[in-house]
């Protein structure tokens, strides 16, 4: 089975399909995430040293406050060298992770093989909507150095892979966020609510 990265039109059609279906486990365990556009001045002060290091030639820089009913965080998104990046801080302004959106063809072959194997055991059909390299911050280096290393695509920092996927199992489509380690081994998954994830493609 081949991984398929959906374009925006196919994504919208699939979201409508999922939204009208009823599946009980989505109610039991989900990721009900909301985001609101804010100004950088509304961020905690200690985030500024990192955000000021976003490249001058980065495009479409946007700042958001996010909440999932349990947690508040701040996320800045921008496009740099043809890639979308997001930089996320917790409510205290401490850097949590940096994510970089990539295409399926950019995955290592060993990672793709591991993903194929896992997904084919989980669903009769599936479609990849979005793939992100997820770099979890470690205090071994400064937050600024960490950001710069990711922007340089440093091979010395391993990433997880965060994947938004629509899967069909038992005749029902579900929208999920799955996380895999740097070798493509499954780590965890959460159900997503389509109506709270309209910004999924950005």
The tens digit of pLDDT for each residue in 47-95 reads: 999 999 999 999 999 999 998 778 899 999 999 999 999 999 999 999 9
Tell me the pLDDT band of 198, cut-offs 50, 70 and 90: low
Question: Is residue 62 a contact partner of residue 78, using CB atoms and an 8 Å limit?
Answer: yes
For residue 43, is pLDDT > 70? yes
- Give the SS3 label for residue 130: strand
Note the pLDDT of residue 91: 95
C-alpha to C-alpha distance for 49 and 146, rounded to whole angstroms? 12
Whole-model pTM over 0.75: yes
Fold of 8-196: Nuclear Transport Factor 2; Chain: A, (3.10.450)
Cβ neighbours of 165 (radius 10 Å): 24
99 versus 196: the higher-pLDDT residue is 99
For residue 114, is pLDDT > 70? yes
Note the pLDDT of residue 52: 93
Question: Dihedral sign, CA of 165, 176, 85, 156?
Answer: negative
Which range of 1-5, 134-138, 150-154 scores highest in mean pLDDT? It is: 134-138
72 versus 34: the higher-pLDDT residue is 72
- Strands (E) across 31-71 are located at 34-37, 59-67
For residue 99, is pLDDT > 70? yes
C-alpha to C-alpha distance for 134 and 174, rounded to whole angstroms? 22
Note the pLDDT of residue 29: 53
Note the pLDDT of residue 58: 97
Note the pLDDT of residue 196: 54
Beta strands 125-136 and 72-80 are: unpaired
13 versus 151: the higher-pLDDT residue is 151
Report how far apart the first and last C-alpha atoms of the chain are (Å, whole number). 26
Tell me the pLDDT band of 195, cut-offs 50, 70 and 90: low
Helices then strands, each counted (H, E), the chain: 5, 9
Note the pLDDT of residue 18: 44
> Chain-wide mean pLDDT for the chain?
84
Tell me the pLDDT band of 124, cut-offs 50, 70 and 90: confident
Question: Is residue 64 a contact partner of residue 72, using CB atoms and an 8 Å limit?
Answer: no
Taking CA atoms, 57 is separated from 63, 75, 96, 145, 171, in Å, by 17, 19, 24, 18, 47
């Amino acid at each position: 089975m081949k991984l398929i990265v959906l374009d925006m039109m196919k994504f919208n059609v699939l979201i409508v399909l999922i939204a009208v279906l009823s599946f009980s486990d989505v109610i039991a365990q989900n990721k009900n995430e909301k985001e609101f556009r804010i100004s950088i001045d509304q961020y905690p002060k200690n985030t500024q040293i990192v955000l000021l290091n976003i490249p001058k030639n980065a495009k479409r820089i946007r700042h958001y406050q996010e909440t999932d009913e349990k947690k508040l965080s701040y996320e800045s998104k921008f496009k740099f060298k043809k890639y979308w990046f997001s930089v996320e801080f917790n409510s205290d302004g401490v850097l949590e992770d940096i994510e970089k959106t990539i295409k399926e063809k950019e995955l290592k072959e060993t990672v793709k093989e591991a993903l194929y194997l896992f997904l084919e055991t989980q669903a009769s059909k599936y479609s990849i909507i979005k793939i992100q390299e997820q770099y979890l911050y470690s205090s071994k280096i400064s937050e600024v150095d960490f950001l710069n290393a990711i922007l340089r695509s440093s091979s010395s920092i391993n990433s997880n892979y965060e994947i938004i996927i629509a899967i069909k199992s038992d005749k029902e489509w579900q929208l999920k966020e799955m996380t895999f380690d740097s070798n493509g081994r499954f780590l965890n998954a959460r159900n997503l609510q389509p109506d709270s994830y309209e910004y999924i493609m950005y």
